[in-house]
Amino acid sequence: MRSLLRPLALLAVVPFVLTACGSGADEPAAEGGSTAGSETGAFPATIKHKFGATEVKAAPQRVVSVGLVDQDALLALDVAPVGTTEWFGEKPGALFPWAKEKLGDRPLPTVLSDKDGIQFEKIAALRPDLIIGLYSGVTADDYKKLSAIAPTVAQPPGVPDYGVAWQDVTRTVGQAVGKPKQADELVKGIEARFATVRSEHPEFQGKPALMATPYEGYFIYGSQDPRSRLLTDLGFTLPADLDSLIGDKFGANISKERIKLLDQQALVWFPTKGGTAKLQADPLYKNLPVRTQGRDVFVEENYDDQLYGATSFVSILSLPIVLDQLVPKLKAAVDGNPATTA
């Protein structure tokens, strides 16, 4: 189920419950998280979120991330979290290479799991003075329990769970750790790279495109999912009736009768490991023009493939990899030549 976010999971989020201290082997609490160089006048900072507002009175020294990608924004701002939440990949510290590089020689964070609910006791043992849960499914009850441990910043208001934009993750984390100007500059830097790609690839402009995964049939990502925003940030458009079909979720399955929705000018698939060939041979899909004309892109599940991980994270640190590696595939998809494959 979680694979829909990865980019395959969490069609329905299992309610988080109070659990014992961790599943699997316990890890020692990481030491030495820090927020060096906070900006003048940054504190106190009041941050609005889904469950109200949280005041951060001073630069936090021990930050725990219960969001699945929030550690990337922390490390981009030179803040080493003491706790991170495992999403996929089983990387040391739950840090993919682009984030591990930013950690340097500082201690790896303790890895938390939320498969059976948030590990409140394990989080408390880390003695955090700030908890970040932006790209998450934190519930009101979770928030109450987390706030009893430390000031907690939950999902932004007005967006679905797991629907926060990478810009908002970066800027909100920047506000919380006292580096709002630095965060804004980082965002502007990546946005400038998107602008460069749009100017270099006018063939993307206005072309309808879609992100999908073969989960229980055909699962498509809506406009509130970070992956779909990648497409629009590159100049593509999403199908006009996409949100009316999906509703207020980050994505939804479509019936076989709606398979023509997949026939876009560019279609990015995230098959499970070994699933690309099966999808290409799917009797309903294989005859669609998007397949016969080579307008589809396959980013198959592979935890050692930086593009797969980076396209799932859609973070301030992973986006340079996406821009370097996904854009050429999209160029091949929309070039109008079936002989070129993505």
Phi-psi group of 214: left, alpha or beta (phi > 0 → left; psi -120 to 50 → alpha; rest → beta): beta
pLDDT tens-digit map of 291-314: 999 999 999 999 999 999 999 999
| pLDDT at residue 148, as a whole number | 98
Q: Per-residue pLDDT for 185 more than 70? A: yes
Residue 180 CA to residue 303 CA, distance in Å, equals 32
Checking if the pLDDT of 64 tops 70, the result is yes
- What is the rounded distance in angstroms from the CA atom of residue 267 to the CA atom of residue 289? 11
Using alpha carbons, list the distances in angstroms from residue 88 to 7, 99, 225, 226, 232.
Answer: 10, 14, 18, 17, 26
- Compute the distance between CA of residue 62 and CA of residue 80 in angstroms, rounded to an integer: 8
248 pLDDT above the threshold of 90? no
**Is residue 154 classed exposed, middle or buried when 0-12, 13-18 and 19+ CB atoms within 10 A define those classes?**
buried
User: In this model, does residue 19 exceed pLDDT 60?
Assistant: no
pLDDT tops 60 at residue 145 = yes
Query: By mean pLDDT, which of 30-39, 139-148, 195-204, 315-324 is the weakest?
Result: 30-39
pLDDT recorded at residue 337: 75
Tokens 């629907």 locate to 163
**What pLDDT is stored for residue 249 in this prediction?**
80
State which H helix or E strand residue 166 sits in.
helix 166-176
d(C-alpha 183, C-alpha 187), whole Å: 6
Mean pLDDT of 107-135: 97
241 exposure class (CB count in 10 Å sphere: 0-12, 13-18, 19+) = exposed
In this prediction, residue 37 carries a pLDDT of 80
More confident residue, 78 or 5: 78
The whole-number pLDDT of residue 246 equals 84
Mean pLDDT of the chain: 89
pLDDT of 88 above 70: yes
- Nearest Cα to Cα of residue 234 among 171, 336, 319: 319
Domains of the chain and CATH, by start: 45-179 (3.40.50.1980), 201-333 (3.40.50.1980)
- Distance of alpha carbon 292 from alpha carbon 192, whole angstroms: 35
For 75, what's the count of Cα atoms within 13 Å in the CB-facing half-sphere? 30
- pLDDT by residue (tens digit) across 217-242? 899 999 989 999 999 999 999 998 89
When pLDDT is cut at 50, 70 and 90, the band that residue 338 belongs to is confident
Task: From 143, 159, 138, 154, select the one nearest 13 (Cα to Cα).
Answer: 138
- What confidence score (pLDDT) does residue 341 get? 67
